[in-house]
Copies of this chain bind each other. A is one copy, B any other.
Amino acid sequence: MMARKRAKGLSPRQIKILEVLERYQEQVGYPPSIRDICDKTGITSTSVVNYYLKQLETSGFIERDGGVSRGIRLVKPLGETVEAPTASLASQVKKTVENVRQTVEDILRIPVLGRIVAGSPVPVPSSDFSLYDADTMVDVARSLLPARETGANLFALEVQGDSMIDAMVNDGDIVIMKPAQEARNGEMVAVWLEGKDETTLKYFYLENGRVRLQPANPTMQPIYVNDPSTVKIQGKVIMVIRQLQTMAS
């Protein structure tokens, strides 16, 4: 067994778990469950593995998607490609392939599901959409998105009309959204107001049983909804992109 360059500072069990993660993914084709790691490492308790996984996550060696089965992935810092002198060509190839995967992952290709208009409900990714139609995709650098965003189910909408101007969003803008049925205070959401039969983008605040929908434009007044059940959250807005014409037409 070769020694790891970056092994310093890591306990034997942390190293063992990292090795298991790498080997399992390579051999089996998908990441191990916590109980799989138990078997491979000889640790008898799931909580102990979880204990170490938390450490490895905060140390930045792995990323986890909470609540997802086998939702673990190794993160490979770019500068860490130094390999032991005994490295074979095969492992070089593997390393390069890994790097490709890494850089490919630097771009997220997000489907544009449709348009968002004040008068109609928001298209959500549960309905049918063509994942690979090049005309209906936007490419976004992963570095622009929040750190832990997997991008798995993000989707985008094109804004139609001037009805979202109080959200500082204009006709033609692209909003990138994450599916959600609820939101935390301060997050911008797309909501369907049952009373008004209208879709709108607002900052969401739940304040003692009452929903406050705050326009992004600070000069405009918020909407108050006393019955939260009439506020149907369609998703959280995580990014807005506006492309401007550089040539007059």
Chain A residues at the B interface, C-beta cutoff of 8 Å = 16, 19-20, 23-24, 26-33, 36, 39-42, 44, 63, 65-66, 68-73, 89-90, 92-93, 96-97, 99-101, 103-108, 125-129, 131-132, 138-153, 162, 165, 168-170, 178, 184-188, 216-219, 236-249
Contact = CB atoms under 8 A, between A and B. Distances in A.
Contact of A246 (B100, B139, B169, B238): B238
Nearest to A75: B29
Given A26-B105, A168-B169, A66 B240 contact: no
Copies of this chain present in the complex amount to 2
Nearest to A249: B66
Given A141-B140, A169-B168, A30 B28 contact: no
The listed residue with most B CB atoms (<10 A of its CB), out of A20, A73, A143, is A143
A13 to B, nearest CB: 11
14 contacts: A26-B105, A29-B105, A30-B30, A33-B69, A39-B126, A106-B107, A139-B143, A139-B144, A145-B243, A146-B245, A170-B216, A186-B248, A238-B246, A241-B241
